[in-house]
Structure 1
Amino acid sequence: MPLLPFMGTTPTIDSNAWVAPGASVIGQVTLGPQSSVWYGCVLRGDVMPIVIGARSNIQDGSVVHVTRKLAATTIGDDVLVGHMAMIHGCTLMDRAFVGLGAIVMDGCVIEPDAMLAAGAMLTPGKRIPAGELWGGRPAVFMRRLTEAEIARNRAGAAGYVELARLHRESQA
């Protein structure tokens, strides 16, 4: 797994986190306990920091970056970022969900238990309130998430913690 320094700053990876072989983590990146970065991801904290909390996952092929002199990227605890997502200079609060292939642009905020649908594009500065589902290009409010959907999303984050553990052990 390439953990690459940039301008004297090396990524900080918790000892209980897992970064898949083939992922690239560069510069000012902090990865919290039991979080995971999957195959083919790029996390490039070269000009601003990227901070990822506990038990969050960045799934295969996703890119996480920042906006120079404007916006770091902060990802809270128990966050699901689906395959091939683009996360750029934004905030994903605890238990946020970003669907497969979705784009979250500069200055956006996804609040707790909120979801951006697969393939959606959240344009700069937009905010998804807690418990809402947004979708489309550009993304707009679709509906409130049900309690069952919120529970399923929360279980998904826990499932990725276990899956990362199994991958880590199988490669040891």
Structure 2
Amino acid sequence: MSGLILPFQGTHPKIDPSVYVAPTASVIGDVEIGPGSSVWFGCTIRGDVNEIRIGARTNIQDGTVIHVASAGQGTYIGDDVSIGHMALLHACTLEGGCFIGMQACVMDGAYVESGAMVAAGALVTPGKRVATGQLWAGSPARPVRALTEKDTSFFPVNIRNYVRLAQIYREG
């Protein structure tokens, strides 16, 4: 583990020893990250005014920002989630096994179910629920089609690839 790991008001991040945190990533405050996950270059995970919980084998790709709402909920991310480069996640919930595309924004109170996909560049507005088996795209995002078997079969492949890549970096 490397990166900038900072406490906030006496609360230290809890990061499983198997997690890869890139040297230019920042993890701050009330953050927990589960085994086999990875936080890539230029990410900021800031649990200062509420909590952030990230499950196992989740990859948070380069430039992603994860934050919380002081007057709302924390941010909750399940196991086996892929979060594309430069995503913005704010006070939302991502169930295990979902996929968030590059530069997607998921806002306060939004909920992405397991087996759902948010397309690259999509804006999921506050309180929306992305259902299992749906692809949401656009700004504001809306359901555009059902996911295919080809779409969902890529999810675990991507997870395995990132777990393997993180291990290479950790051993590096």
Residue equivalent to 1:78 = 80
Structure 1 residues 53-112: Cα deviation after superposition (integer angstroms, max 9, x where no partner) = 000011000000001131100000000000000000000001111100000000000000
Does structure 1 residue 125 correspond to structure 2 residue 127?
yes
Identity of aligned residues (%): 54
| Residue 34 (str. 1) matches residue 36 (str. 2) | yes
CA distance in 1, matches of 2:171, 2:83: 23
User: Which of 7, 18, 21 is the equivalent residue of 1:19?
Assistant: 21
Give CA deviations for 1:13-58 in whole Å, capped at 9, x if unaligned: 0011111101000000000000010000000000100000000011
Aligned to 2:98: 96
Indicate if the aligned counterparts of 1:78 and 1:158 stay in contact, CA closer than 8 A: no
Q: CA deviation at 1:138?
A: 0.2
Q: Which residue of 2 aligns with 1:113?
A: 115
Residue of structure 2 equivalent to 1:56: 58
Distance of 1:167 and 1:131 partners within structure 2:
33
Q: SS of 2:79's equivalent?
A: coil
Aligned-partner Cα distance in 1 for 2:29–2:55: 17
Q: Which structure 2 residue ranges, 5 or more long, are not aligned?
A: none
Q: Could you tell me which residue of structure 2 aligns to residue 43 of structure 1?
A: 45
Question: How high is the TM-score relative to the length of structure 1?
Answer: 0.97
**Which residue of structure 1 lines up, in the alignment, with residue 156 of structure 2?**
154
CA RMSD of aligned residues (A): 0.6
Q: How many residues align?
A: 170
Whole-Å Cα distance in 1 between the matches of residues 88 and 153 of structure 2?
24
Structure 2 distance, partners of 1:138, 1:21, is: 34
The residue aligned with 2:143 is 141
Which runs of no fewer than 5 residues in structure 1 stay unpaired? none
